[in-house]
Amino acid sequence: MELDDLSQSGIRRIADFSPYLDQIAGLAQEMGLRQRSNLVHLEKCLHQQWSLGQNSILSWAPLDDGLLVLVVPHYAIAEYTSMRSDGRAPQVSSHFITELISGDRQLSLTQMQKVARLLDVEPVYIALRQALTRHPVETQIIEKMIRRYGITYVASRAVTLFDIVGFSLLTPFEQMTQLNSLSYSLNSAHAKMLEQDVGINFARSSSGDGFYVWNRDDGLEANVNLYHFMHIVLADNAIARSKSLSKAVPRLRACFHVGSCYEFHQAEGLNPTMHDFIVGDVTIELARMIDAALPGQILVGDFLADVNDMDEDPAQTQANLDAVTFLQRAQGNLSKLSGMVFSGERVTAIKCYLTGENMGGDQFNIRRLHIKDKHGLSRVAYNAKVNIYRESAQPILLGIEDKKLVEKLQPAEKI
């Protein structure tokens, strides 16, 4: 790095750049100061192209001593797939745009030229201080930069929604303390999972009465880990409620679902936030499910989870898992959480299951529940229970029993 790059302002810019490195744990040391300085310059250029949110950056491609970026007005993404005012067909299909903003954003030069021609925009060339090294860490950081200044579509994302019961009836002070308590339970659950070497790169955004929480990592294991993360949050909350003598700790209800969503970074002042937000089919379904959930209840949506990225023999692996099979997989890997400590007591076993009627002989079916929302739309969900057994303490029983379900959740079928 040049000496003038080691000025206080240069060091500060590199420090401001650190969140990108923090999101790629353990790899920061692989980048030299010159390489970081080059990416700091790129960040500044992308910020200029973003123009306070006026534009969205779709894709990038390395070229000589710089790179090409595809920049369009933020409203153009929707217009590309809409019927034109003169009655002509959309400029491109919605599938094309979805593919463009899904997965990796790096294109080859040929692909960049083709996409630019279809969208009728000219790629913007950004000159760098030195050519890109093409190192995997460098590429990952550029991908994160591009996504920060654009929109990302994820076809299959697990999300859980924690909702504080009776939140609107609380005083502002009580609302603040209960949200803070829930936030602590999220952080505590995260720490407990890391202690058991179970990774979860969780993100959250406010729902007003609680939080949407998702795992930034993709794949079946990441989705299953999020499901167990939900259990641990609810267990931490249950223990805190049992000890609290005030309204500082909330009573919760929770929903879990897998579906598509759009991820983006809202503007905060003159910069997009480092943390992301989500909206899409998965959050819509969760919001409608939670309205029907009872205090203390855990609802699981009727979904298909993508498992194409599993490291298994494709001939032996389904392309998707339904909710029931997903929960069976989740129960199968709970041994990773054995030994976790709750309130000083070590966990000996965890059992998670979907409830139904007792058929005798210790056999239960799984009941499908029809939920009808205020718009008259109906969807299927499942009632879930979680039992956490500890060495010398009472078990932590989460969720509600099937027999306690009220008419608001009409039984649909048994499987």
**C-alpha radius of gyration, the chain, whole number:** 24
Q: Which pLDDT tens digit goes with each residue over 130-172?
A: 999 888 888 988 998 999 999 999 998 999 999 999 999 999 9
State residue 22's pLDDT score: 52
Q: What pLDDT shows up at residue 113?
A: 95
* Residue 36: closest CA among 167, 120, 135, 180: 135
Q: What is the mean pLDDT of residues 252-275?
A: 83
Using one digit for the tens of pLDDT, what is the confidence trace for 44-86?
Answer: 999 999 998 899 999 999 998 999 999 999 888 888 888 776 6
pLDDT category at 196 given cuts 50, 70, 90 is confident
pLDDT at 333 over 80: no
Examine the pLDDT at 20 and tell me if it is beyond 70: no
Local confidence band at 312 (pLDDT 50, 70, 90 cut-offs): very low
Structural domains for the chain: 16-149 (no CATH), 154-414 (3.30.70.1230)
E strand segments, 135-290: 151-164, 202-206, 210-215, 252-264, 267-268, 271-272, 277-279
Predicted confidence band at 311 (pLDDT cuts at 50, 70, 90)? Answer: very low
Percent of the chain clearing pLDDT 90 (strictly above): 44
The pLDDT of residue 6? 36
State mean pLDDT over 331-335.
76
Can you spell out the DSSP letters for 212-249? EEEESS-SHHHHHHHHHHHHHHHHHHHHHHHH-SSS-S
pLDDT tier at 330 (50, 70, 90 boundaries)?
confident
Tell which residue, 68, 40, 51, 71, has the closest CA to residue 127: 68
Average pLDDT for 228-235: 93
Decide which of 365 and 175 is more confident.
Answer: 175
Indicate the average pLDDT of the chain: 83
- What is d(CA 265, CA 274) in angstroms, rounded to the nearest whole number? 7
Q: What per-residue confidence (pLDDT) applies to 25?
A: 44
Phi, psi (rounded to 5 degrees) for 139: -65, -40
Chain center to CA of 190: 14
Compute the distance between CA of residue 196 and CA of residue 208 in angstroms, rounded to an integer.
31
Span 29-38, pLDDT tens digits: 566 778 888 8
pLDDT tens digits along 382-400 = 999 999 888 888 889 999 9
Q: 290 or 85, which is more confident?
A: 290
Tell me, what's the pLDDT at 293? 92
| pLDDT value of residue 338 | 75
Alpha carbons 105 and 320: distance in angstroms, whole number: 25
Lowest mean pLDDT, pick from 223-237, 311-325, 357-371: 311-325
Residues 158/321, Cβ–Cβ less than 8 Å: no
The per-residue pLDDT for 102 is 93
Confidence tier at 350 by pLDDT (50, 70, 90) = confident
Q: For the whole model, what pTM was predicted?
A: 0.84
The confidence score (pLDDT) of residue 158 equals 94
Sign of CA dihedral 8, 10, 11, 15: positive
Q: Which residue has the higher pLDDT, 24 or 81?
A: 81
**Whole-angstrom Cα distance, residue 399 to residue 238?**
11
- Could you tell me the two tokens for 33? 């100061």
Of 19-23, 62-66, 90-94, least confident by mean pLDDT is: 19-23
> Can you name the residues that pair with 371 across neighbouring β-strands?
379
CA angle centred on 326, ends 398 and 181, rounded to 5°: 35
- Residue 26: pLDDT above 60? no
**How many residues are there in the chain?**
415
Which pLDDT score, from 0 to 100, does residue 259 have?
A: 93
CB count within 10 Å of CB 328 equals 14
101-111 average pLDDT score: 94
pLDDT at 7: 41
Q: Say how many C-beta atoms besides its own lie within 10 A of residue 79's C-beta.
A: 12
